[in-house]
Amino acid sequence: METASSAVIVAIDGPSGTGKSSTSKAVAAKLGLRYLDTGAQYRAITWWMVAHGVDIDDPEAIATAADKPTIVSGTDPLAPTITVDGTDVAGPIRTKDVTSKVSAVSAVPEVRTRITELQRSIAAQAEGGIVVEGRDIGTTVLPDADLKIFLTASAEARAARRSGELKGKEAADLAATKEALIKRDAADLGRKTSPLAKADDAVEVDTTDLTLEQVIECVVTLVEEKRAGT
């Protein structure tokens, strides 16, 4: 059990395919911390918008509906959960349809305000500390996080990893996956509200030539050093 003195809030940011989720969950599990996948929350609200017929091309319609769904995130790193209005959406939010629409929904300021408030509340209530992963955690959501890490990797490496994660009909060829990632990067980097960015005080870790185990070991070391005050 973690003591209060060892409680630490860790922000892990970076684009898709850098290993954020796998790294964050493993680090949290190893160190007895809670875990939050903020991207899943944006996917969840996107799933709700699609399911309720909200026009994804109409920012005003999205903004009007932003406060309607109830999103609950479980923070156990060994079994993270996410529900919308009581429905388990862990599977549905990972479909290609949701993936293609999440950038448009998450770019709406009212959506980001709603989800950011939710994320801050979860982090504040996490006993012992938490690892929060996303794209604007260190810069916007938790600017006072104890440790900020920004994961990067080449587009080729990220596409290979993401393509390997896709199953069956959802699988895409490497070129198409790379193109989709680059398009998503452009949307995240270019949005006016809370764009994807590396915090000035974040530690950058290039995962291109590292195994997942090596990335996890690196981040665990960084967290332990922060806990020790070094």
Residue 163 has what pLDDT?
66
Residue 211 lies in a domain: yes
Q: What is the pLDDT of residue 224?
A: 94
- State yes or no: pLDDT of 108 exceeds 50: yes
- In a domain, residue 229? The reply is no
125 close to 117: Cβ distance less than 8 angstroms = no
Domain range for 30 is 4-224
- CA dihedral 23→13→132→214, nearest 10 degrees, is 20
Residue 158 has pLDDT above 90, yes or no: no
Which structure tokens are listed for 82? Answer: 């996410």
Count of domains for the chain: 1
What local confidence, expressed as pLDDT, does residue 2 receive?
39
CATH of the domain at 94: 3.40.50.300
**Residue 164 pLDDT grade (very low, low, confident, very high; cuts 50, 70, 90):** low
- Structure confidence at residue 166 (pLDDT): 57
Q: Is residue 192 part of a domain?
A: yes
Least confident window among 12-21, 113-122, 181-190, 210-219: 181-190
CA nearest to 133, candidates 41, 69, 218 = 41
Tens-digit pLDDT profile for residues 193-223: 777 788 999 999 999 999 999 999 999 999 9
Report how far Cα 113 is from the mean position of its chain's Cα atoms: 16
DSSP the chain: ---GGG-EEEEEE--TTSSHHHHHHHHHHHHT-EEEEHHHHHHHHHHHHHHTT--TT-HHHHHHHTTSS-EEEE--TTS-EEEETTEE-TTGGGSHHHHHHHHHHHTSHHHHHHHHHHHHHHHHH-TTEEEEEESSIIIII-TT-SEEEEEE--HHHHHHHHHHH--GGG---HHHHHHHHHHHHHHHHH-SSS-S---TTPEEEE-TT--HHHHHHHHHHHHHHHHHT-
Give residue 230's pLDDT: 58
Mean pLDDT, rounded, of the chain: 89
**What pLDDT, in 10s, does the model give residues 52-104?**
999 999 999 999 999 999 999 999 999 999 999 999 999 999 999 999 999 89
Q: Is residue 129 very low, low, confident or very high in pLDDT (cuts 50, 70, 90)? A: very high
| Structural domain includes residue 230 | no
Residue-level pLDDT at 172: 52
